[in-house]
Amino acid sequence: MAQILDGKLVRDRIKGECAPRVARLIGKAGRPPGLAIVLVGDDAASAVYVRGKTTTAEELGIRHETITRDASLSTEELLAIIAGLNARKDIDGILVQLPLPSHIDTQKALLTVLPEKDVDGIHPCNIGLLSVGRPGPRPCTPSGVIELLKHYEIPIGGRNAVVVGRSDIVGKPMAMLLLQENATVTVCHSRTRDLKAVCRNAEILVAAIGRAAMLGEEHIAPGAVVIDVGVNRVGSRAEAERIFEAPRLALFDKLGSLLVGDVHPGAMARLASAYTPVPGGVGPLTIAMLMRNTIEAAERRLGVVSSGVVC
């Protein structure tokens, strides 16, 4: 039977290790870490994600504030908000919640965040540090995947890893982190020839493409470790029938929609040696790694050494 990789369990361990670092900052620097989240527009999913982040910050004693603006905000107005947060001494981390409204220049907004306050770890300066193995904020979801693999003592070095998806936030940094752990890495995308064959060569398969249950049995080698980063909401009964078996279909009929990853859940359960469920796999770790990045940003800015504690 395949091992289920429980992200909530690892999240709770990370939170437990982070809490003493917050207390140390308060004791030595006189204040907790400060996190600012900028939320623009009325995207329902974004609002849910922000609530999850602020709830976790509250639990850990991280000071947080959310700056909300309606969708009419201009790029220039957003840049002014970010510049103000850059200048504040009580703010150690800034997160611009994505996606932004289509008329806003997302890249310009993300570039405006100071690299040392980029707790998402996606500023080009921080991606550059990652690419050469230098310390710095790491992208939250990919670093969470590495934490998960290490927690469950799944070997990475020397193994064939395939990452499906080449986004700047997940796919590319995921490949770099796997390389740093000495995996042999292939990155796939929309123009990859014979995707099924490439995926079947994977001992570690990471799916980050944003398409519901796109990868099926023909993509998974028996015994592979499957990390499903995708979170997709299925609202069509026909699509639900393609993906879910009877018990989950009954739940779909009751709720009207269900979440699914980028990999067919039944295929993962049947073929993988270990896999992440959706929800409950990688998702909980993203917020935990955001909290870690915020604490580390505060430690660097305030000159507080973590006394060897690894969080």
Active-site positions read 53, 97, 120
Q: What is the DSSP letter of 173?
A: H
Do 278 and 211 contact (CB within 8 A), yes or no? no
What distance in Å separates the CA atoms of residue 85 and residue 202, rounded to the nearest whole number? 43
Q: What is the DSSP letter of 218?
A: G
Neighbours of 203 (CB within 10 A): 19
DSSP string, 225-268: EEEE---EEE--HHHHHHH--HHHHHHHHHHS-EEE-SB-HHHH
Residue 54's SS3 state is helix
What distance in Å separates the CA atoms of residue 89 and residue 73, rounded to the nearest whole number? 25
Centroid of chain to Cα 264: 20
Element of type H or E holding 142: helix 140-151
Do 160 and 201 contact (CB within 8 A), yes or no? yes
Do 245 and 276 contact (CB within 8 A), yes or no? no
Do 168 and 127 contact (CB within 8 A), yes or no? yes
